[in-house]
Amino acid sequence: MGRHREFDADEALHIALQVFRRRGYEGTSISDLTDAMGITRPSLYAAFGNKEDLFRRTLDLYERRHLCFAHEALQAPTAREAVERLLRGYVDVLTDPLSPPGCLGVNGAVACSEASEPIREELIARRIVNENNLRNRLEKARADGDLPANEDPADWARYVVSIGLGMAVKAASGASRQELHRVADFAMRSWPTA
Amino acid sequence: MGRHREFDADEALHIALQVFRRRGYEGTSISDLTDAMGITRPSLYAAFGNKEDLFRRTLDLYERRHLCFAHEALQAPTAREAVERLLRGYVDVLTDPLSPPGCLGVNGAVACSEASEPIREELIARRIVNENNLRNRLEKARADGDLPANEDPADWARYVVSIGLGMAVKAASGASRQELHRVADFAMRSWPTA
DNA sequence: CTGTTACTATACTGATTGGTATGATATGCG
DNA sequence: CGCATATCATACCAATCAGTATAGTAACAG
């Protein structure tokens, strides 16, 4: 069966997540990762493939461990509550005191070299999934009479996602949790009254 | 007096702006720049200093040539109009068909390696200036009775800037001008009614 | 115990990074 | 013209990039 791995792969992945979240995909070197994880380069490549593979695995872990609130938020009884829970939950993730500020999905890559385009596109694709999930929830709400018929679910989803992305950049720039909740307050003021 | 420069420094700077705006600060290599500008490395360093200096000069050019609408927007007769002009003007810059989508100030750097931290901090500092300019305008509006006394100018400025940053990321991800104007529509719905 | 297997450690690869030394070339001044 | 000066082109620098070859080591199967 061979020699056993001397490090905890799951723990190492959590550390990689922290490094990528702070420095972005291109801003993180393999040496940054191995130093933080306390393992050697061959161990990293043996356990996680190449840099792209590792980043995608950290993305999966991030969604599973930090963005899991979104799934529950969408199940709130009303659309308004679902949107508000999404925004509030995201603010708390963006300003988690135990992690670098901001969002892995935004800090990871906004603009990058041609070599990293696949990662940038992966992040865009995942954001589209999230926006579509919200849009579907709002379409259901409109069918149920929970959202006025003249409100466009696609427009609403795009707006909420835009607010989220803006708060993510703001968080990465040093905005406090309290400040971002104030932004969420203002965002909710757009919600239709009665 | 010596040999004359064989290229137009201002034109070269415009090209550098396009490259940085598309690839970000870290995603752009000196070779990317010299290839696009059609000059050699020593010419670039002689004319613009080092990479950081060049990027700061492209930032100045960008603000002067693309963000100049903001100054005029703030002089609109009402605060509401000023905010709306800021958002509309920014959307048009973000989706300028002659430039890479998004904003140099956001695409430039959101998260980066330690080596590029000075650039990231410079971008944050410039965003703070913009937010403060808007806040000052809104404080004046409140003093004039143009903005209700219970509306906080700092909160409003933070919200508007967040919307802008979110639209910038959205634009860099491929959102259309029309889609972003719909986001601006929703943002303006938060404005207090009478 | 031996053999096989999978890990770790060291050292290395070629390519690319930002930045420069050097020598040729072109310009203006006297 | 001839000198001074500034730009140009080539070729280079050390450092770092992502990724790997090789050899040593630890664990299980038999």
What mean pLDDT do residues A19-32 have? 98
- Give chain A positions within 8 Å (CB) of B26: 24, 26-27, 112-113
Res A136: pLDDT: 98
Res A194: pLDDT: 66
Whether residues B29 and B107 share a domain: the answer is: no
For chain A, the domain total comes to 2
| Enclosing domain of residue B38 | 9-62
C-alpha to C-alpha distance for A135 and A121, rounded to whole angstroms:
21
| CA closest to C20 C1', residue | B42
What mean pLDDT do residues A1-17 have? 93
Phi, psi torsion values for A144, nearest 5 degrees:
-85, -5
What mean pLDDT do residues B55-79 have? 98
Whether residues A37 and A74 share a domain: the answer is: no
What mean pLDDT do residues B37-63 have? 97
Whether residues B50 and B71 share a domain: the answer is: no
Q: Is residue A4 part of a domain?
A: no
Question: Which CATH number fits the domain that encloses residue A28?
Answer: 1.10.10.60
Res B45: pLDDT: 97
C-alpha to C-alpha distance for A66 and A57, rounded to whole angstroms:
14
B162: Cβ contacts below 8 Å, ≥ 6 apart: A163, A166, A167, A169, A170, A183
- Compare CB distances from A179 to B21, B112, B158 and report the shortest one's residue: B158
The proportion of chain A whose per-residue pLDDT surpasses 70, expressed as a percent, equals 99
Instruction: Say if residue B194's pLDDT is above 90.
Output: no
Res B1: pLDDT: 76
Whether residues B53 and B85 share a domain: the answer is: no
Q: Is residue B3 part of a domain?
A: no
Whether residues A79 and A103 share a domain: the answer is: yes
Res A2: pLDDT: 79
What mean pLDDT do residues B75-80 have? 98
- Give chain A positions within 8 Å (CB) of B193: none
Instruction: Say if residue B35's pLDDT is above 90.
Output: yes
Asked whether strand C has any atom less than 7 Å from the CB of A8, the reply is no
Whether residues B27 and B98 share a domain: the answer is: no
Asked whether strand C has any atom less than 7 Å from the CB of B30, the reply is yes
C-alpha to C-alpha distance for A109 and A116, rounded to whole angstroms:
8
Instruction: Say if residue B15's pLDDT is above 70.
Output: yes
What's the gap in Å between the CA of B167 and the closest CA on chain A? 6
Whether residues A161 and A182 share a domain: the answer is: yes
Instruction: Say if residue B134's pLDDT is above 90.
Output: yes
Q: Is residue A136 part of a domain?
A: yes
Q: Is residue B193 part of a domain?
A: no
Q: Is residue A1 part of a domain?
A: no
Average pLDDT of chain A is: 97
Question: Which CATH number fits the domain that encloses residue A164?
Answer: 1.10.357.10
Res A9: pLDDT: 95
Whether residues B58 and B71 share a domain: the answer is: no
Q: Is A64 exposed, middle or buried (0-12, 13-18, 19+ CB in 10 A)?
A: exposed
Res A6: pLDDT: 87
C-alpha to C-alpha distance for B99 and A97, rounded to whole angstroms:
37
Quick one: pLDDT band at residue B3, thresholds 50, 70, 90? confident
Q: What is the pLDDT of residues B142-175, one digit of tens each?
A: 999 999 999 999 999 999 999 999 999 999 999 9
